[in-house]
Amino acid sequence: MKVLIILSAIMETVLGVPKLNISTVRPRAQCGIANSPISVVYEGFGKIENYPWLGTLVYPRGDKLLSIAVVLVSKQMAVGPAMDIDKVPKIDFRSRSRVILGTNCSGPAFRVINYSFHPDYAKSTFSAPTIIQLAFNRKLAGFRPICAPPVALNNAQFYAMTLSNDCHKSRIMVYKMAYVKPEECQEFYTKSELDIDSMWPSHVLCARAMSGKECIWRSGTILTVRQNGQWSLVGIGVMGPGCKAPSRFIDYTVYHLWVRNSILRIGRPAVTKIADNNIVLRRSLSSVQRFGPCDPEETKAVLFTDKTSIDQYIPRKQNRVSYNFTVFANVDYSCVVFYVRNRTPKRKELPKIFLRRWCTSERPICYGMSYLQVDFYLDIFFVQSIVYNIKVYGKELKFLNIKRTMAYFNEKKKSPEIATLTPPTSKSTTVS
C-alpha cells in the first residue's frame, strides 16, 4: 500500500490531538455559504438545495442516465473522481454530458467545455481527481462554490456529504466525522481484503462517521470542514466502506494547488510525450490544459495533415533533422500529434523526437508560454530511413472587431423617444 499522507495539521487538530495555537483564519471571498436558513447542522437526511456547490455530472446512456457526484470549487470549475469520469464514453462527452448544481436532475444543466485528469491517474493510482470545466452563463454565476482548504482552524467541525444514487432525488446524507489513524485504516482494509494498491490515493485521508452503522459510499462523497459559517473542501471520497467504517478520501488539501495552477495556465501549450517517437501538443485560449492521448472528440475537426519520408544521409550513424511548428493565436488546437516511425518495420531501434521552444529573445521571455503565438521546432534523431507524420486537429477562432461591433449595436439600438414639450401659456393680468 502507498504511504498514507495525512492532513495532520488539520485533521489531528480537530479530531483527536492537541489544538494548534492559531486563532485567525485567512479572509476569503463569499464561498462555502449554505442556503440553509438555520446555522445549526443536523446529521442525517438533508437537501442538496441547501448546498449550492454539490452537483451531479449526468450522461445519457440509452434509456438510463449515468450520474457522477462532483463539487463546484470555483465559478467554472468542478472536481470529481477520475475513475468514474474515465468510464464515460469520450466520443461525445463534451457535447452530451451536463453538470447540475445545487438541485436534483430537474434543475438547470451546464455544458462541459473540457476535462483534465490529474497526472497521478492511471500512473500511480486510479483514485485521483479530475477537473471539469463548465461553460459560463448567467445562471452559473449565481452558484457559490465551496471554499478551498483553510490554512488555519477555529472552532471547526468535519462532515461528510454523500448524494443519493438517484439524481432525481434531492436527498443527501450528512455525517459528523472523526479522524482515523493511518495504521488503523491500513489494518481495516487489510482484514477486509480491500487493500488493493491501485485504489489507494497517492495522498489520502481516513475518517469515519461518529454514529450509525457500516455502509458502502459511492465515489465523490466529500469530506468538508465548517468553521465561521463557511464550508471548505478537504477530501473527495473513494468508493468503498463508509459511514461507521473507516473511509478513504483523496486529500484535496494537496490537489487544490493543482486545480488553481490549472486555471492560471489556461492559454499555455500542454505537451505530452506518449513515447520516444510520439508527442501530443494542445493549446486552447479558453479551456484548461489536458494531457495524454487525444480522445475521439478532440480529433473530429482536421486542420492539417502531412506525411514526409526522410532518408538517412549518414549511413549506420545517427542522423538529425528539424521541423518548425508555430502555434497561432487564431487557432484552438484541440490536439496536435507528432509521430515518427521507421520506414522498415524490421528495425528495432525506434527514432526519437523532441519538441523544443524556438526563441531568439532573452531567456526569461523564452521560458514564458503565455503568449498568443509560440514557435517550436521538432528535433528528430534516427539511424535508418523514417516516415514523419503530423496531424493537427482543432478549429479556427473568430475574433470580433470591436469598432465594427459597437457600430452595429449602435445602429440596431433604438433611441429613446423624446416627448415634445409645449411651453405653458401665461395668463394675462388686467390692472384697473
pLDDT at 138: 84
pLDDT at 1: 44
pLDDT of 364 > 70? The answer is no
Report the pLDDT averaged over residues 121-140.
92
pLDDT at 142: 84
Report the pLDDT averaged over residues 287-301.
95
pLDDT at 246: 96
Q: What percent of the chain has pLDDT over 70?
A: 88
Report the pLDDT averaged over residues 340-349.
85
Residue with grid cell 520516444, as numbered in its chain? 276
Domain ranges across the chain: 49-142, 157-260, 266-362+371-412
pLDDT digits (tens, 9 = 90+) for 169-185: 999 999 999 999 999 99
pLDDT at 37: 83
pLDDT at 17: 33
Confidence class of residue 420 from pLDDT cuts 50, 70 and 90?
A: confident
Confidence class of residue 27 from pLDDT cuts 50, 70 and 90?
A: very low
pLDDT at 363: 63
Q: Is the CATH number 2.60.40.420 carried by domain 49-142?
A: no
pLDDT at 422: 75
pLDDT at 293: 96
CB 232 within 8 Å of CB 149: yes
Report the pLDDT averaged over residues 281-309.
95
pLDDT at 403: 78
pLDDT at 20: 30
pLDDT at 371: 63
Report the pLDDT averaged over residues 234-239.
96
pLDDT of 21 > 90? The answer is no
Confidence class of residue 8 from pLDDT cuts 50, 70 and 90?
A: very low
What cell numbers appear for 159 in the block? 462532515
pLDDT of 428 > 70? The answer is no
pLDDT of 274 > 90? The answer is yes
pLDDT at 397: 80
pLDDT digits (tens, 9 = 90+) for 373-403: 888 999 999 998 999 999 999 998 876 677 7
pLDDT at 344: 84
Confidence class of residue 429 from pLDDT cuts 50, 70 and 90?
A: low
Identical fold between 49-142 and 157-260: yes
pLDDT at 367: 59
pLDDT at 349: 86
For the chain, the average pLDDT equals: 86
Q: Is the CATH number 2.40.10.10 carried by domain 157-260?
A: yes
pLDDT at 362: 66
Confidence class of residue 28 from pLDDT cuts 50, 70 and 90?
A: low
Report the pLDDT averaged over residues 37-58.
92
